[in-house]
A and B are shown apart, each in its own frame.
Chain A
Amino acid sequence: MSVRGYVNKNSLKRRKVVDTFAKTVFRLCGFISAIMIVVIFVFIVQRGIQVFFPGYQFGNIDFLSFISGFTWRQDQMIYGVFFIFINTLITAFGAALIAFPLSILSALFIAKIVPKRFKIIFTTVIELLAAIPSVVYGVFAAGVIVKWIDSFASALGYTTRGGNSLLAVIILLAIMIYPTITTMAITAIEAVPKETEEGSLALGASKTQTYFKVILGSARSGIVAGLVLGLGRAFGEATAVSMVAGNALVGPTLNPFDITRTLTTTMLSGLKETSGLDYDVRFSVGIVLMITIVITNFIIHRIKDKLGGEKA
């Protein structure tokens, strides 16, 4: 019998149909995943800007007073987001100011300095810190950090609202973004070619000099990516922050012992018993949050490109 006898033409045809069908499904899934970011953006913007246009059923907010306002009072329908935006920048950059140096130092330690057999301890610690859910950080902050701050403030002669304060938010966020930046920095440091390190050592630099001046410089790109990721987490963190922020009605908050209000806490506050305009304005705040993140990313990358002559 010839080979042809064994090949079923119908089966061949069916295989081809199945193959084409499956490939189409795969492609479709890829496209759906990619299009989601656009869908998110378009729908949130659409729902967020409707409160500024006449014809919106629950009344209107004046766009200019929204983006320039220094008061947020749901009960009086006064919605000014500008001070909240400033507060958010202060908390996120404050947290980064604390976490960034610590992250870089720990990353150097873990990637280069610590003896190999202890390395696993430190990487596990960082991984665990990164894996702790934000509500758990929130409980810790509300149970421990606010108490530190309350006693610290009273030692300095200030009073706080039970410790809920700008400083509490900054410390909490610093703890939360520390593992994010550290992980990225470790990856970046470990990716620096051995030759770069050896070259520096051969020129007579000490090991420590090499680590701080040469390796950190070469790993700059990855470290900045870590900073951007950390800032993104700090901007977007919601539940933990709202447990200690205190939701100030006016601002911006500059006193570290005063209560504050960030974009995310605004979106969450009083969510249970709200509807209509007060609900939809959270989408407007969401737009501000997205724009803040995008612009910050852009600016940091520009600064990085300006600072370094050659691209690492």
Chain B
Amino acid sequence: MTKRRKISDFMANAMTYFASFISILMLVWIFFYIFSTGMKSFDFKMLTTNYWSTNYKIEFESPDAGSFEKPGSLGDSVAYSVKYGVGFEDVSTKSGTMDLQVVYIASDSPLNSGTNAVAGETLGQSQSIDLGSNVQRITYVNSDGSYASEGNSKGSSAAQLAAALDQSVSIDSMQYQTPGGGVGGSLKATLMLIGMTLLFALPVGIFAAIYLHELAPKNRLTRLIRSSIEMLAGVPSIIFGLMGVAVLFPITAAFGIKSTSILLGSLTLAIMLLPVIIRNTEEALIVVPNGFRDGSLSLGATETQTIFKVVLPSALPGILSAVLLSIGRIIGESAALIFTMGTFIMDKPTLTQNATSLAVQIWSVMSGENPNFGLACAISIIILVIVLILNLTIKLITARLMKKWSA
């Protein structure tokens, strides 16, 4: 080999190294950014809490002061009221204001006996205070029978509030604001979406795969069906969103659903996922040895019996990985859902109403006037972790499947 050849070979090789290491760099960078930004806002509590903060006014059924020891787990920054067993802390919020947050409530504290005091359907129902709530005002009764109040709306600090409460004999009422910024509603909506989508897509997808692989004759029509399904896989998701509005919305409207809804979103995604499910199921059917089918048929079973009792059970791991792949796609999908489910974040999603999935909530908080990077990255962490777990599981299943049939 000439020297020139060696040098140019080296350069070409170096370029391939360079390109591949860029890909690693990119991945690390994305994960680093998402995790470093999101971790500040991430909190396991956000999985169950509401996005919108709500104002509550509550009264107490057993308002009298007692005596509660300060638990050792609370730090010095927490102002603790020994008479009511509640801890407060001054917390600066992202918007720059100071919150007076409830950070601890003893299990038998009088504050746990709150009932809703605002006129309406919920009047008189018991209302427990979420930790992290911002105390607007607590009205209490002093030993001389006079009423006084302290709280964030009066500009008091946590220490002032706790000290004032410890001078009182009972509490009268409390106004507070729940923390908000959670993803509970979107998480619920995402789970509903996954369930409904699979409910629609799995039977049709699996049956179509069975038809294509087990029953369809090898002719032009079958080839046409295959290439149509292939084409479906190449359609961008935003087009599926349009399709949902144009084709499926009239169908759900016929059932009395007036707006875009989780149901509409799941129907749309079901169609979008058909190619994924069909392809993966078929790949699982291909590896089932033909001897299984011959054996079953020669024992007198019908084709249907053979399919359901022999072929499908053997193809189950492949179908499972199709399901996991679909779940990954549903969790990550945004464009189609923006059209078919709307972008308004709902804390209590129902099937027949607008809602956001986790991914669409990211889009929602990012597309306003002030994009909320903290929350967007925190939700991204949740999505990335789920996607990672799904991918690993699929890899394991495929590896096992390969082993099973090659052994």
Which residues does A use to contact B, with CB under 8 Å?
15-16, 18-19, 22-23, 25-40, 43-44, 46-47, 101-103, 105-106, 108-110, 113-114, 121-122, 125-129, 131-140, 142-144, 175, 178-179, 182, 206-209, 211-212, 229, 232-233, 235-239, 242-243, 264, 267-268, 271-272, 282-283, 286, 289-290, 293
For A179, the chain B residues whose CB sits under 8 A away are 23
B9 at the A/B interface (Cβ < 8 Å)?
yes
B384 at the A/B interface (Cβ < 8 Å)?
yes
A208 x B12 contact (CB < 8 A): yes
A243 to B33, CA, bound (A): 17
A235 x B204 contact (CB < 8 A): no
Given contacts A23-B303, A30-B225, A39-B247, whether A139 and B380 have CB atoms under 8 Å apart is yes
A23 to B18, CA, bound (A): 54
For B12, the chain A residues whose CB sits under 8 A away are 208, 211-212
B388 x A128 contact (CB < 8 A): yes
Which one of A15, A37, A282 has the highest number of Cβ atoms from chain B below 10 Å of its Cβ?
A: A37
A271 x B228 contact (CB < 8 A): no
A136 x B229 contact (CB < 8 A): no
A38 x B19 contact (CB < 8 A): no
B240 x A40 contact (CB < 8 A): yes
Which residues does B use to contact A, with CB under 8 Å?
1, 5, 8-9, 12-13, 15-20, 22-24, 26-27, 29-30, 33-34, 37, 203-205, 207-208, 210-212, 214-216, 224-225, 228-229, 231-232, 234-240, 242-243, 246-247, 271, 274-275, 278, 302-305, 307-308, 328, 331-335, 338-339, 342-344, 359-360, 362-363, 366-367, 371, 373, 376-377, 380, 383-384, 387-388, 391
A144 x B33 contact (CB < 8 A): yes
B236 x A235 contact (CB < 8 A): yes
For B391, the chain A residues whose CB sits under 8 A away are 127-128, 131
A35 x B228 contact (CB < 8 A): yes
A125 to B30, CA, bound (A): 12
A239 to B361, CA, bound (A): 12
A140 x B335 contact (CB < 8 A): no
A207 to B8, CA, bound (A): 12
B383 x A232 contact (CB < 8 A): no
B236 x A282 contact (CB < 8 A): no
Q: List 15 A-B contacts (CB under 8 A).
A: A16-B302, A27-B215, A29-B203, A33-B274, A39-B243, A105-B20, A106-B22, A106-B23, A122-B23, A128-B391, A134-B332, A139-B366, A236-B238, A268-B335, A283-B246
Shortest CB distance B298–A (Å): 16
For A139, the chain B residues whose CB sits under 8 A away are 34, 362, 366, 373, 376-377, 380
Shortest CB distance B193–A (Å): 14
A175 to B22, CA, bound (A): 10
A133 x B371 contact (CB < 8 A): no
Given contacts A109-B17, A135-B362, A143-B33, whether A264 and B335 have CB atoms under 8 Å apart is yes
Which one of B16, B210, B343, B391 has the highest number of Cβ atoms from chain A below 10 Å of its Cβ?
A: B16
B338 x A44 contact (CB < 8 A): no
Q: Please report whether the interface of chain A is mostly helix, strand, loop or mixed according to DSSP.
A: helix
A35 to B221, CA, bound (A): 12
A310 to B18, CA, bound (A): 32
A239 x B363 contact (CB < 8 A): yes
A140 x B333 contact (CB < 8 A): no
B333 x A132 contact (CB < 8 A): no
Query: Which residue from A19, A110, A136 sits with its C-beta under 8 Å from B302?
Result: A19
For A137, the chain B residues whose CB sits under 8 A away are 30
Shortest CB distance B161–A (Å): 37
Given contacts A142-B371, A143-B37, whether A136 and B207 have CB atoms under 8 Å apart is no
B19 x A128 contact (CB < 8 A): no
B211 x A29 contact (CB < 8 A): yes
A181 to B373, CA, bound (A): 30
For B366, the chain A residues whose CB sits under 8 A away are 135, 138-139, 142, 243
A239 to B343, CA, bound (A): 12
For B30, the chain A residues whose CB sits under 8 A away are 132, 136-137, 140
New A-B pairs, 17, CB < 8 Å, besides A113-B16, A135-B334: A15-B302, A19-B303, A36-B232, A36-B274, A40-B240, A44-B243, A129-B26, A131-B328, A133-B331, A136-B362, A136-B380, A138-B362, A139-B376, A140-B29, A238-B236, A271-B338, A286-B239
Given contacts A29-B208, A133-B383, whether A43 and B247 have CB atoms under 8 Å apart is yes
A271 to B246, CA, bound (A): 15
For B5, the chain A residues whose CB sits under 8 A away are 206, 209
B387 x A131 contact (CB < 8 A): yes
Closest to B230 in A: A37
Closest to A179 in B: B23
For A236, the chain B residues whose CB sits under 8 A away are 235-239
Closest to B377 in A: A139
A136 x B238 contact (CB < 8 A): no
B376 x A15 contact (CB < 8 A): no
Given contacts A33-B229, A105-B20, whether A267 and B343 have CB atoms under 8 Å apart is no
Closest to A26 in B: B211
B242 x A286 contact (CB < 8 A): yes
Closest to A40 in B: B243
Which one of B20, B371, B383 has the highest number of Cβ atoms from chain A below 10 Å of its Cβ?
A: B20
